[in-house]
């Protein structure tokens, strides 16, 4: 406790870090307040049917990602998912079209151009999803909830929904630039956390209503949940250390190298991005059928609207494995790593520098990514097994799955950034021993 209080004091002493944390909290507060601002022309007291529709299933997940804005008919109802969908499309185009490949190689100017194109595509995606969302509202809530259902309401509501998503995207970018942590990930995380207390209370209440053993089962569920959290942390922080031998170099009167150091390759170098990407794509069938309920669907749409069904979870798991390899490929560049080692007089013992080193690093990454991606997929579909085991729909979403992976990954990344600020100012880190590792790779200390 004393160490924790001292760490908080150290954080407060660093003016830049203190300002960044306050800015982050302020922008997240704006997002949470906006999630409760209902679309103009809708009576917020008549949204009970919409809240019941989002109590479970795919729409329950979408509502959780938007922090409850979807079920509140909020100006932020579509949340940040259109931006994520647009980002997926742009990254896939980067593998197929020479124009985007050229932009990726142009450094900062190319990155800004890609961001601009992503924003334009986000507007188009949101403009396509907004009418579907309004059609679902029109079918779900009574006509008396609308002040006017004419053309003006539809046009103005579409404009408001598109503007809301763009504003949420802007908040995320401001958090990344002026705050602490990744803004988009933090916005998703804060929406998930907002649902956690209600989910725990709901599960506790349902267990108390059972005759005999209900409280014991609740305690068992909490213990298993803690075990899953520990497993996820190990997955996020797991590394394979590759030894690198550096030759001796003398600069001035100082000697460098001549010792063995290590390159930490992440078991899950992609972090939670494969989960977010796969989940965004799994939401698409619902958008194309006007966010309807699974009861009124059939065939393909029904299969992918049932989050407890085999085909939904099988497809979800396969997509996570594929996206893990895809995101690892664009995150880790073995060729660049081999060139950096060669420039600094380093080599992997037993492996020739150059092409052989590239092949070795690529082989190691392929081998460690496979079990990491499979475990990531298994954790992602755990909520389906939890619901089959009798856990309520709300609480099961935190029993592994997208929610838990995002929470653990984003929290570790944010804590890692805070710790790096502390260590740069020669303060102790957040932990008494060791260093926090996030999704991005090695610990914050130099290898």
| Choice between 259 and 106, residue whose per-residue pLDDT is larger | 106
Output the pLDDT for position 292. Answer: 52
| Residue carrying structure tokens 């009970």 | 48
Token pair belonging to 111: 């990155």
pLDDT digits (tens, 9 = 90+) for 120-147: 999 999 998 898 888 888 877 887 888 7
Is pLDDT above 50 for 446? no
pLDDT band with cut points at 50, 70 and 90 for residue 294:
very low
Mean pLDDT of 144-169: 88
Q: Which of 283, 291, 282, 277 is nearest to 54 (CA)?
A: 291
Is pLDDT above 90 for 162? yes
Greatest Cα pair distance in the chain: 83
Output the pLDDT for position 390. Answer: 81
Phi-psi region of 172 (alpha: psi -120 to 50; beta: other; left: phi over 0): alpha
Is pLDDT above 70 for 407? yes
Output the pLDDT for position 285. Answer: 66
Is pLDDT above 60 for 255? no
Which CATH number is 2-424's, of 1.10.287.1080, 1.10.3370.10, 3.30.420.40, 1.10.1040.10? 1.10.3370.10
Asked whether the CA dihedral 381, 385, 388, 393 is positive or negative, the reply is: negative
83 contacts 118 by C-beta, under 8 angstroms: yes
Is pLDDT above 60 for 428? no
The rounded Cα 403 to chain-centroid distance in angstroms is 8
pLDDT digits (tens, 9 = 90+) for 219-252: 888 888 888 888 888 877 777 788 887 665 544 5
Output the pLDDT for position 192. Answer: 84
Is pLDDT above 90 for 159? yes
The DSSP H or E segment spanning 296 is none
Q: Is 93 exposed, middle or buried (0-12, 13-18, 19+ CB in 10 A)?
A: middle
383/430 Cα distance (integer angstroms): 31
């Amino acid at each position: 406790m004393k160490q924790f209080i001292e760490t908080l004091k150290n954080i407060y002493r660093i003016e830049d870090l203190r300002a960044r944390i306050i800015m982050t909290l302020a922008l997240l507060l704006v997002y949470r307040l906006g999630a409760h601002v209902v679309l103009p022309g809708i009576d917020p007291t008549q949204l009970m049917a919409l809240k019941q529709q989002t109590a479970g299933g795919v729409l329950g997940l979408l509502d959780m990602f938007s922090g409850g804005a979807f079920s509140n008919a909020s100006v932020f109802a579509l949340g940040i998912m259109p931006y994520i969908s647009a980002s997926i499309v742009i990254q896939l185009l980067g593998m197929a079209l020479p124009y985007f490949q050229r932009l990726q190689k142009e450094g900062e100017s190319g990155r800004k151009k890609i961001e601009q194109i992503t924003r334009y595509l986000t507007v188009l995606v949101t403009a396509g999803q907004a009418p579907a969302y309004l059609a679902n509202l029109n079918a779900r809530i009574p006509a008396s909830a609308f002040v006017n259902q004419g053309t003006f309401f539809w046009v103005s509501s579409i404009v408001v929904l598109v503007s809301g998503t763009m504003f949420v995207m802007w908040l995320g970018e401001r958090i990344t630039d002026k705050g602490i942590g990744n803004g988009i990930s933090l916005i998703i995380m804060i929406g998930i956390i907002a649902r956690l207390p209600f989910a725990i209370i709901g599960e506790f209440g349902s267990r108390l209503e059972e005759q005999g053993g209900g409280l014991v089962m609740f305690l068992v569920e909490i213990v298993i949940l803690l075990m899953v959290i520990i497993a996820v942390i190990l997955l996020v922080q797991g590394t394979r250390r590759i030894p690198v031998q550096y030759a001796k170099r003398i600069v001035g009167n100082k000697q460098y190298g001549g010792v063995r150091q290590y390159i930490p390759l992440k078991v899950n170098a992609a972090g939670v991005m494969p989960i977010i990407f796969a989940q965004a794509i799994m939401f698409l069938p619902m958008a194309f059928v006007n966010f309807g309920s699974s009861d009124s669907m059939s065939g393909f749409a029904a299969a992918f609207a049932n989050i407890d069904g085999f085909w939904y979870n099988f497809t979800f798991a396969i997509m996570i494995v594929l996206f893990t390899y895809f995101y690892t490929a664009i995150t880790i560049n073995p060729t660049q790593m081999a060139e950096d080692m060669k420039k600094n007089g380093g080599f992997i013992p037993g492996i020739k520098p150059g092409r052989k080193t590239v092949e070795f690093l690529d082989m190691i990454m392929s081998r460690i990514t496979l079990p990491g991606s499979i475990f990531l997929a298994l954790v992602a579909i755990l909520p389906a097994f939890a619901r089959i085991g009798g856990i309520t729909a709300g609480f099961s979403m935190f029993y592994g799955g997208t929610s838990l992976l995002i929470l653990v990954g984003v929290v570790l990344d944010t804590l890692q950034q805070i710790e790096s600020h502390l260590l740069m100012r020669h303060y102790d880190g957040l932990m008494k021993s060791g260093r926090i590792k996030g999704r991005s790779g090695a610990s914050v200390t130099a290898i």
